[in-house]
């Protein structure tokens, strides 16, 4: 009976070395591939110019407090058939807020690849409509007025999550 095979002379040091190099080599290649795809698909940032926005954070808080003082409320709705996104803007008493120039963006929560720029027009008093073709799923709608306060902040800001139902 002859022993023919990979370990005819028994398991030696070079066999263990080759197994360890092979194992860790495969592990390094797989980790490098995962790291590449993790960085290439999502950079980690969820806002543009985060440093500049951080510096002006106190101004942002003051603008939000001013919006609360005005008592303006915004609600977002989307009509799939008409491909229209509407923002209903009302004051503290529930009356419509008229004459606001607004712009915005509708985007997916985790990527900016599907972002849709929005230009709102007042359709009826307090109802601002923008043409947008949104695919089914989760969207985050941000809108702000082009009318500025004395400090240079928008008079109104809105950020709402929207679920677009499938056909």
Residue 119 belongs to some domain of the structure: yes
Map residue 28 onto helix, strand or coil. Answer: helix
Report the pLDDT value the prediction gives residue 118, as an integer from 0 to 100.
Answer: 94
CATH number of domain containing 150:
2.60.40.10
Report the pLDDT value the prediction gives residue 28, as an integer from 0 to 100.
Answer: 98
**DSSP E strand boundaries for 126-165:** 127-131, 137-145, 157-164
Examine the domain organization and report whether 55 and 30 are in the same domain. Answer: no
Examine the domain organization and report whether 96 and 160 are in the same domain. Answer: yes
Map residue 120 onto helix, strand or coil. Answer: coil
Examine the domain organization and report whether 67 and 144 are in the same domain. Answer: yes
Residue 8 belongs to some domain of the structure: no
Most confident of the following: 22-31, 81-90, 119-128 = 22-31
Give the C-alpha distances (Å, rounded to integers) separating 122 from 73, 98, 102, 119, 159.
16, 8, 9, 10, 19
Query: Does residue 117 carry a pLDDT above 80?
Result: yes
Distance CA 121, CA 59 (A): 27
How would you list the strands of the sheet with 84-90, edge to edge? 73-79, 84-90, 127-131, 121-124
Examine the domain organization and report whether 32 and 55 are in the same domain. Answer: no
Give yes or no for a contact between 114 and 107, defined as CB atoms under 8 angstroms apart: yes
b/e 30-57 (16+ beta carbons within 10 angstroms → b): eeeeeeeeeeeeeeeeeeeeeeeeeeee
Average pLDDT, the chain: 87
Examine the domain organization and report whether 87 and 26 are in the same domain. Answer: no
Lowest mean pLDDT among 1-10, 28-37, 51-60: 1-10
Residue 1 belongs to some domain of the structure: no
The single-letter DSSP state of residue 155 is S
State the total domains in the chain: 2
Examine the domain organization and report whether 40 and 54 are in the same domain. Answer: no
Distance CA 132, CA 141 (A): 11
Examine the domain organization and report whether 37 and 62 are in the same domain. Answer: no
- Give percent above pLDDT 90 in the chain: 47
For the segment 100-119, the average pLDDT, to the nearest whole number, is 90
Residue 4 belongs to some domain of the structure: no
Examine the domain organization and report whether 26 and 71 are in the same domain. Answer: no
Examine the domain organization and report whether 64 and 81 are in the same domain. Answer: yes
For the segment 131-147, the average pLDDT, to the nearest whole number, is 91
Examine the domain organization and report whether 102 and 116 are in the same domain. Answer: yes
For the segment 45-64, the average pLDDT, to the nearest whole number, is 81
For the segment 25-52, the average pLDDT, to the nearest whole number, is 86
Query: Residue 1 — very low, low, confident or very high, per pLDDT cuts 50/70/90?
Result: very low
**Residue 86 — φ and ψ, nearest 5°?**
-120, 140
What domain range is 120 assigned to?
Answer: 50-164
């Amino acid at each position: 009976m002859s022993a023919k095979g990979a370990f005819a002379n028994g398991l030696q040091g070079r066999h263990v070395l080759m197994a360890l190099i092979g194992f860790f080599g495969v592990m390094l290649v797989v980790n490098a591939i995962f790291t590449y795809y993790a960085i290439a698909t999502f950079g980690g940032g969820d806002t543009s110019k985060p440093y500049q926005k951080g510096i002006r954070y106190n101004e942002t808080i003051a603008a939000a407090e001013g919006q609360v003082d005005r008592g303006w409320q915004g609600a977002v709705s989307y009509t799939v058939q008409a491909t229209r996104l509407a923002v209903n803007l009302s004051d503290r008493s529930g009356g419509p807020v008229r004459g606001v120039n607004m712009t915005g963006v509708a985007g997916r929560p985790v990527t900016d690849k599907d972002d849709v720029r929005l230009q709102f027009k007042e359709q009826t008093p307090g109802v601002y409509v923008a043409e947008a073709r949104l695919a089914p799923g989760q969207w985050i709608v941000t809108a702000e007025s082009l009318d500025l306060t004395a400090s240079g902040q928008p008079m109104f800001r809105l950020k709402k999550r929207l679920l677009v139902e499938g056909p």
